[in-house]
Homo-oligomer: A and B are copies of this chain.
Amino acid sequence: MSKQNISLSVIKRLPKYYRYLESINEKGIIRVSSKELSEITGLTASQIRQDLNHFGCFGQQGYGYNVKELIGELSKIIGVDKSYKIVLIGYGNIGHALYQYKSFRDLGYEFEAVFDKEEFTHEELKVQKIDDLGDFLKNNKVDIGIIATPKTVAQEIADILCEGGIKGIWNFSPVDLKVKNGVVIESVHLDESLFTLTYFMNSPEDFIF
């Protein structure tokens, strides 16, 4: 039941469970079985039960899972029950979109500061000069750095973030960053996603989803 040895495949499914359970909960449903979850998620009931059992015994024989309770457990497992302090680097198209995205704030992800190449003010938001990032991190405890810069400077920014004691990087630039052990990287490679779509559009015989 230790957290050790849990595979990436399992972990990547946790947010999906969380999302479906939230939508079930919004409908006012109290309990759900792995079979029912299987039907709406498209995963097998067996896999759902085994995934959850990596973290604990949240169900009850003959009953299934209590929706609210399971959401609570998943929140703790994923860590969305806590709040996180963020710095955003790169206030271009994507950076701007992420900054505006309200859902993340509601979940407890708080933007502490925004940096770009040059300092400027945009609708009451003071965007700071990137040169001041290092100092800012020295004086403020920040958990997550979002990199939404051109790929040419992404690694450089990552280095500053690591040096500043950040715990995780959410990377939107199309490069694979190298960081010291202990810092977590999660990348959103939009180019790769679009290419995957493109591949399948040209391969009508491929029905592996």
A59-67, A74-82, A118-126: which lies at the B interface? A74-82
A138 within 8 Å of B (CB atoms)? no
> Which single member of B103, B143, B185 contacts A191 (CB below 8 Å)?
B103
Q: Is the CB–CB distance between B184 and A200 below 8 Å?
A: yes
**Identical subunits present:** 2
CA distance A77 to B201 in the complex (A): 11
Of B80, B94, B191, the residue contacting A195 (CB under 8 A) is B80
A18 in the interface (beta carbon within 8 A): yes
CB 8 Å contact bits of A82-124 with B (1 = contact, 0 = none) = 1010000000011011101101100001000000000000000
Known contacts A7-B208, A96-B97; is-contact A15 B201 (Cβ 8 Å): no
**A positions within 8 Å CB-CB of B:** 3-8, 11-12, 14-16, 18-19, 41-42, 77-80, 82, 84, 93-94, 96-98, 100-101, 103-104, 109, 143-144, 167-170, 174, 176, 181-182, 184-186, 188-209
Enumerate the 4 nearest inter-chain pairs by beta-carbon distance, A residue then B residue, closest first.
A186-B197, A15-B195, A15-B192, A93-B97
Nearest CB of B to A101, in Å: 6
Given A93-B98, A185-B209, 19 new contacts (CB under 8 A): A6-B206, A8-B208, A14-B195, A14-B196, A15-B196, A19-B174, A19-B192, A78-B198, A84-B201, A93-B97, A93-B101, A97-B97, A101-B190, A144-B197, A168-B197, A169-B197, A184-B200, A184-B201, A186-B197
